Amino acid sequence: MPRILITTDYLRPGDDIDRYLTGHGHTTVHAPLAGRSGPEALVAALRDADAALVGHDPLTAEVLSRAPRLRAVVRTGVGYDAIDVAAATRLGITVSNLPGVNAGAVAEYTMGLLLATARGLVRSAAGVAAGGWPRHDGHELRGSTLGLIGYGAAARAVVPLAQAFGMRVLCTTGVPESGRTDPSVRFVDLPELLAASDHVSVHTRLTERTRGLLDASAFALMKPTAVLVNTARGAVVDEQALADAVRTGRIAGAALDVVTEEPLPADSPLRGVDGIDVYSHLAGQTAEARAAAGTEGAAEIVAALAGKPRHAVNTPLPKPPAGDHG
The DSSP annotation for 102-153 comes to THHHHHHHHHHHHHHHHHTHHHHHHHHHTT---------STT-EEEEE--SH
255-302 pLDDT, tens digit per residue, is: 999 999 999 999 999 999 999 999 999 999 999 999 999 999 999 999
Residue 33 has pLDDT above 90, yes or no: no
Which residues have a catalytic role annotated? 233, 262, 281
Residue 217 has pLDDT above 60, yes or no: yes
Element spanning 186, H or E: strand 186-187
- pLDDT computed for residue 319 by the predictor: 77
- 8, 1, 51: which is closest to 26 by C-alpha? 1
C-alpha–C-alpha distance, residues 65 and 58, integer Å? 13
181 in Cβ contact with 175 (< 8 Å): no
C-alpha–C-alpha distance, residues 182 and 165, integer Å? 17
C-alpha–C-alpha distance, residues 121 and 226, integer Å? 17
Residue 28 has pLDDT above 70, yes or no: yes
- pLDDT computed for residue 325 by the predictor: 47
Residue 105 has pLDDT above 80, yes or no: yes
Longest dimension (CA), the chain: 67
- pLDDT computed for residue 36 by the predictor: 54
As a whole number, mean pLDDT of residues 214-225 equals 98
As a whole number, mean pLDDT of residues 174-198 equals 97
Residue 278 main-chain phi, psi, to 5 deg: -115, 130
More confident residue, 319 or 249: 249
Angle between the 103-119 and 153-164 helix axes, to the nearest 10 degrees?
Answer: 50
As a whole number, mean pLDDT of residues 122-143 equals 97
- pLDDT computed for residue 34 by the predictor: 59
- 5, 6, 88, 89: which is closest to 47 by C-alpha? 5
Residue 186 has pLDDT above 70, yes or no: yes
Percent of the chain exceeding pLDDT 70 equals 97
Percent of the chain exceeding pLDDT 90 equals 94
Residue 251 has pLDDT above 50, yes or no: yes
- pLDDT computed for residue 37 by the predictor: 54
Mean pLDDT for the chain?
95
Indicate the DSSP class of residue 214: B
C-alpha–C-alpha distance, residues 93 and 5, integer Å? 14
46-77 pLDDT, tens digit per residue, is: 999 999 999 989 999 999 999 999 999 999 99
Q: How many CA atoms lie less than 13 Å away from 71 in the CB half-sphere?
A: 19
- pLDDT computed for residue 303 by the predictor: 98
C-alpha–C-alpha distance, residues 188 and 196, integer Å? 10
197-207 pLDDT, tens digit per residue, is: 999 999 999 99
pLDDT band at 326 (very low <50, low <70, confident <90, very high): very low
